Amino acid sequence: MADVGRAAGVSAQTVSRYFSGVGYVGGSTRERIAAAVAELGYRPNRAAGSLRARHTGIIGVLTVGELVHGSAQILTGLSQAARRLEQTLMIAQVELGYEAEGWQGEVRRAVDHFLSAPVDGIVVSTSISGVDEALDAARAHVPVVNLSERPRVLDGSVGTHSFTAGYEGTGYLIGQGHTAVIHLAGPATRHEAIERERGYREAMREFGLEALVVGEARDWSSATGFAAAQQVDVDRFTGVFASNDEIALGFLSAMERRGRKAPTDFSIVGVDDMPAAAYFSPPLTTMRLDFQGVGRTTLQTVYEMIRTGESTARRVIEPELRIRESVAAPRDRTR
Amino acid sequence: MADVGRAAGVSAQTVSRYFSGVGYVGGSTRERIAAAVAELGYRPNRAAGSLRARHTGIIGVLTVGELVHGSAQILTGLSQAARRLEQTLMIAQVELGYEAEGWQGEVRRAVDHFLSAPVDGIVVSTSISGVDEALDAARAHVPVVNLSERPRVLDGSVGTHSFTAGYEGTGYLIGQGHTAVIHLAGPATRHEAIERERGYREAMREFGLEALVVGEARDWSSATGFAAAQQVDVDRFTGVFASNDEIALGFLSAMERRGRKAPTDFSIVGVDDMPAAAYFSPPLTTMRLDFQGVGRTTLQTVYEMIRTGESTARRVIEPELRIRESVAAPRDRTR
DNA sequence: CAGTAACATGTGATCGGTAACTTGCCTAGG
DNA sequence: CCTAGGCAAGTTACCGATCACATGTTACTG
């Protein structure tokens, strides 16, 4: 900055004002600085600036496991909003191991990494049981926004409404006349899966129907749905509520091998509305979740918390039923 | 650090040595520092450190458009490798507009943002025609690795081999007896799409067959494949090579509406091997691309370039045929 | 036993900015 | 005519680390 100042015939401090926009810089001075900047190819060094200013404009994003549809879309939304607010995203990924021990340490490491950067705030994308605890250390230093279905601290959290997705998805099936509706659960470690199942159970209970959860999921993959379809008794259900589209796809695939197609032999609804879902065979009726929107409001939320120092109230994004062709009224089996 | 040093009875410089690992720190001193660090909850400030040290350990990742299967997996690979090498990823996204003008400026803005951070290196994930030029400014300051099919500067670039994907995917169809093979192209702005088409054309040419590209793609989505299927003459082909799995899915879906199923009525092969592809109806034969691997070697490459200051030779990851059930020998139409 | 190398630590300058305060000018209001 | 306040800059200290260099100790070597 001193060099630029010299070239423009002003002090470094004035150049600093020119870039930061705080304080006054005269019109002609402004032009001379701009010229000097262009000529020298100068760019301010944010690492230096943030040292004295005590904020970096960096927001840490913690992701869990590989980026699949939902988390990738969330990240897309986060980075859209970050660009608009001129914040920088620093990402750290923790591998999702099944040995409970290792990954808590991983989270702590990632948090340390962030605080050391240092970041102005942290968002935890895709939350798992137990992250909350590992995050308390960070809360003391910077705002933390939890993108979670069941955050331990409600304020300053954002989430989709997975319970509603489960409740309405199942309700739609029931509304079409299905009474034997089974559920294909997602991984039990994930809050989204737990809430969707809870929504399913609640809907079934309200209508006096018996809930039945099929299979055991280790992940959100189609393999999970495929495996569930292989062990299910095809005569014991007419409706299926799947915890996500990918699982629904696996189920569809396995049922096709067993000679059953939706919506004639059974009906099915998923959750997510991944882009491919509209082209499944049949096109899948599903509870759409606006992941990009979730990402955007999440970033907006940390940003506000950073600026104001106060937690905002919990924000929730509601799912929306997308009717396609995988659901029909059940055939009368007694005939 | 001075505080920690005081608590441990040493100078700040020794604490610095303790953290950085360069220079000598005695055993008992090391323990006292560790104790002081734990007690004070101290964490070094990397923004400060990098100011003097003149490197930040941050690598900028430029992504284009929203994170879809390929780019999301690449990012996953990048961040896995980053964690292992103790590098930090800073991501910036540029929106993929169709007004040629705007996005060149966007790239320049993002590069500026990176250089200003400042980052030690830049990787450009998912390259488009013209990014190369916008990147030259950055090359003067830090190593830039281009994740591209046709980089303008070959050294220090990484890519998948899309040409091979096109060539072998088409070749497989031909090998199964198909002579009328059409191509569902990807967006013409993307190098991957161009190379896959080139591979397709080359294979057709070698066998003396006539190439036919159907439809016009604006993106990689299923809608593209769906639209192509609607305008194609079903009697003029038996084989289909799609530029990616998603497009193949759209095509499958539209053909099913027209009463044609693979592999009985036609055969089709895609590219990518997205997780869902194995559960399409029918399970899709496709050219698998190891995107996570691409991400990992890309990050490894920038890292080496940062350390050594020299460009590495171009690295290419080869696709691999995954045979499933969407391809069969063509039915004899004359009968 | 002097000389040298490895070990262990400290001192002062410095990286590139920003905060806080100060100075000087000009205009408007009482 | 004096003063308050907005405007336009400059001065100095400081953010939290690392670098280059200096110093003292111990161990080994010939």
Pairing between β-strand B88-94 and β-strand B157-160 as defined by DSSP bridges: unpaired
Q: How far apart (Å, rounded) are the C-alpha atoms in residues B14 and B30?
A: 9
Cβ pair A253:B76 closer than 8 A: no
Tell the burial category of B160 from Cβ atoms under 10 Å away from its Cβ (0-12, 13-18, 19+).
Answer: buried
List the alpha helices (DSSP H) in A222-290: 222-231, 245-257
Q: How far apart (Å, rounded) are the C-alpha atoms in residues A168 and A325?
A: 17
Kindly identify which residue of chain A lies nearest to residue B245, measuring between CA atoms.
A276
Amino acid identity, residue A192? E
Kindly identify which residue of chain A lies nearest to residue B117, measuring between CA atoms.
A46
Q: How far apart (Å, rounded) are the C-alpha atoms in residues A208 and A215?
A: 23
pLDDT of residue B335: 39
Q: Which residue is nearest to nucleotide C16 (CA to C1')?
A: A48
Tokens of A57: 């404009």
Cis peptide, bond prior to residue B263, ω within 30 of zero: yes
Does residue A321 or residue A129 have the better pLDDT?
A: A321
Q: How far apart (Å, rounded) are the C-alpha atoms in residues B305 and B145?
A: 9
Q: How far apart (Å, rounded) are the C-alpha atoms in residues B212 and B204?
A: 9
Percent of chain A at pLDDT > 70 equals 97
From B188, B119, B131, select the one nearest B157 (Cα to Cα).
Answer: B131
Tens digit of each residue's pLDDT (9 = 90 or more) over A268-300: 999 999 999 999 999 999 999 999 999 999 999
Residue B211: DSSP 8-state: P
From B65, B167, B174, select the one nearest B110 (Cα to Cα).
Answer: B65
Q: Determine which helix (DSSP H) or strand (DSSP E) holds B269, and give its type and residue range.
A: strand B267-272
Nucleotide nearest to A22 (CA to C1'): C18
Amino acid identity, residue A100? A
Tens digit of each residue's pLDDT (9 = 90 or more) over A244-269: 999 999 999 999 999 999 999 999 99
Tokens of B287: 């050219």
pLDDT of residue A99: 57
Chosen from A279, A286, A291 to mutate, greatest number of chain B CBs within 10 A? A279
Of A67, A73, A118, the CB nearest to B45: A118
pLDDT of residue A323: 98
From B89, B65, B66, select the one nearest B77 (Cα to Cα).
Answer: B89
pLDDT of residue B334: 44
- For residue B45, give how far its alpha carbon lies from the nearest alpha carbon of chain A (Å): 5
Tokens of A115: 């605080």
A40-54, A119-133, B89-103, B274-288: which range is least confident on average?
Answer: B89-103
Local confidence band at A106 (pLDDT 50, 70, 90 cut-offs): confident
Say how many residues make up chain A. 335
pLDDT of residue A193: 95
CB B19 within 8 A of CB B30: no
Q: How far apart (Å, rounded) are the C-alpha atoms in residues B318 and A219?
A: 28
Mean pLDDT in runs of 10 for chain B (335 residues)? Answer: 95 95 92 96 96 96 92 96 96 77 83 96 84 85 92 91 97 97 94 96 98 92 97 95 98 97 97 98 97 97 95 95 97 56
Cβ pair A92:B112 closer than 8 A: no
C-beta atoms surrounding A219 within 10 Å: 18
Strand partners, A213: A183
B-chain residues near A249 (CB < 8 A) = 276, 279
- For residue A77, give how far its alpha carbon lies from the nearest alpha carbon of chain B (Å): 8
Q: How far apart (Å, rounded) are the C-alpha atoms in residues A89 and A82?
A: 7
Nucleotide nearest to A52 (CA to C1'): D15
On the question of pLDDT at A120 being above 70, the answer is yes
Strand ranges, E, within A192-335: 212-214, 239-242, 267-272, 285-288, 315-317, 320-322
Of A44, A91, A112, the CB nearest to B91: A91
Cβ pair B92:A83 closer than 8 A: yes
- For residue A42, give how far its alpha carbon lies from the nearest alpha carbon of chain B (Å): 9
Q: Determine which helix (DSSP H) or strand (DSSP E) holds A163, and give its type and residue range.
A: helix A162-175
Nucleotide nearest to B29 (CA to C1'): C8
Q: How far apart (Å, rounded) are the C-alpha atoms in residues A265 and A277?
A: 19
In angstroms, the CA of B202 and the C1' of C19 are apart by 65
Pairing between β-strand A239-242 and β-strand B88-94 as defined by DSSP bridges: unpaired
Tens digit of each residue's pLDDT (9 = 90 or more) over A218-239: 899 999 999 999 999 999 999 9
- For residue A99, give how far its alpha carbon lies from the nearest alpha carbon of chain B (Å): 18
Of B43, B56, B283, the CB nearest to A112: B43
SS percent in chain A: helix, strand, coil, step 5 = 45, 15, 35
Tokens of B253: 């879906």
pLDDT of residue A333: 53
Query: How high is the mean pLDDT of chain A?
Result: 93
Q: Hey, what domains does chain A have and what are their CATH numbers?
A: 2-44 (1.10.260.40), 57-160+291-318 (3.40.50.2300), 162-289 (3.40.50.2300)
- Which CA distances in Å does A279 have to A38, B219, B251, B276, B277? 51, 16, 9, 12, 12
Q: How far apart (Å, rounded) are the C-alpha atoms in residues B72 and A66?
A: 8
Q: Give the SS3 label for residue B334.
A: coil
3-state secondary structure chain A: CHHHHHHHCCCHHHHHHHHHCCCCCCHHHHHHHHHHHHHHCCCCCHHHHHHHHCCCCEEEEEEECCCCHHHHHHHHHHHHHHHHCCCEEEEEEECCCCCHHHHHHHHHHHHHHHHHCCCCEEEECCCECCHHHHHHHHHCCCCEEEECCCCCCCCCEEEECHHHHHHHHHHHHHHCCCCCEEEECCCCCEHHHHHHHHHHHHHHHHCCCCCEEECCCCCCCHHHHHHHHHHCCCCCCCEEEECCHHHHHHHHHHHHHCCCCCCCCCEEEEEECCHHHHHCCCCCEEEECCHHHHHHHHHHHHHHHHHHCCCCCCEEECCEEECCCCCCCCCCCCC
CB A289 within 8 A of CB A272: yes
In angstroms, the CA of B29 and the C1' of D26 are apart by 17
Cβ pair A68:B63 closer than 8 A: no
